[in-house]
Each structure stands twice: as structure tokens, then as C-alpha cells.
């Protein structure tokens, strides 16, 4: 398919009817954002879990422990060089949601099912992280304006 990053074989070089419509399920800006997120995750995996990388891409299917490590890694703010900020700061829920979507996108682009264990892990991590962010906000450790800012009533 055009723009999916998947290489076509010689026989199927031309797009098939409907490929353009299927490609529209993810707009180009979102696709680029997912690919940037996945590239960052692959760089981290190359040092922490090298067996989970194949030819510069995620080696699918991911194990539950590797997926959990990816989500945990993504939950903490880091410098441009990947070094964790001191004192530890956490990313917004929207950041983790984006990482989860990027992982799901990669599975979809490769035509693979996510698997019930990974789906369960993502749902449980998401619910737990949402609670973590709420606790950090109520204790003042995370700014209330972090992530998407609420609309003001001042107009």
C-alpha cells in the first residue's frame, strides 16, 4: 500500500482498487507521528531488548514484558538524549495514549492481530496510568495544564 512503509513485491507494484481509501484511515500527520514514536522506541529497544528489534523495526509479536517495558519507559520524561529527568517527571496521559496507538498502528500496518494478552496489558496500563496522572495532579507534582489544556471560561 502506498505510504504504509511496506515494500510491495514486483507483481503487486500498482495500488489495488481501494488501497487509497484504506490508507486514509490514518492521515499523513498522524502516520508521521506514529513512525517518529516507533523510531524512538526502537532506539531504546536496541540497547535494552535487542532481540525485540529486527532490521530497525519492532520484532512482532512483542512479548508482554517488552511491551510493559516500552510503556513504562515512555511514561517518564527524558532529555533529548534519552536521559531521565532529575527529579523524575511523568509524561501526560495523552503521551502514553499516543505510544499505545503507535504500537497498535504497527501491528495493523503489518497485518497482525494485537493478541489478547497485549490488549489486556495496554488497557490495564492505560487505566493505571490515568490514575497515576490524577494522583500526581492532585498532589501538585504534575501541572494541571499538562497535556491538552482545558477550555477557559473567559472566552
Distance CA 63, CA 10 (A): 33
Is residue 9 over pLDDT 60? no
pLDDT, averaged across the chain: 88
Angle at 7 between CA 16 and CA 102, to 5 degrees: 95
Tens digits of residue pLDDT in 68-95: 999 999 999 999 888 999 999 999 999 9
pTM higher than 0.85, yes or no?
Answer: no
pLDDT of residue 3: 46
Distance CA 114, CA 60 (A): 9
Amino acid at each position: 500500500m502506498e505510504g504504509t512503509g511496506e515494500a510491495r513485491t514486483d507483481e503487486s507494484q500498482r495500488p489495488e482498487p481501494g488501497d487509497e481509501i484504506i490508507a486514509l484511515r490514518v492521515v499523513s500527520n498522524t502516520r508521521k507521528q506514529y513512525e517518529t514514536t516507533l523510531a524512538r522506541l526502537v532506539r531504546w529497544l536496541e540497547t535494552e531488548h535487542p532481540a525485540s528489534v529486527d532490521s530497525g523495526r519492532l520484532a512482532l509479536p512483542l512479548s508482554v514484558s517488552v511491551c510493559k517495558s516500552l510503556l513504562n519507559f515512555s511514561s517518564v520524561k527524558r532529555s533529548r538524549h534519552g536521559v531521565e529527568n532529575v527529579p523524575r517527571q511523568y509524561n501526560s496521559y495523552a503521551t502514553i495514549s499516543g505510544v499505545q496507538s503507535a504500537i497498535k498502528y504497527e501491528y495493523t500496518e503489518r497485518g497482525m492481530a494485537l493478541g489478547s494478552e497485549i490488549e489486556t496489558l495496554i488497557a490495564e496500563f492505560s487505566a493505571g496510568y490515568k490514575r497515576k496522572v490524577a494522583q500526581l495532579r492532585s498532589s501538585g507534582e504534575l501541572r494541571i495544564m499538562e497535556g491538552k489544556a482545558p477550555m477557559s471560561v473567559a472566552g
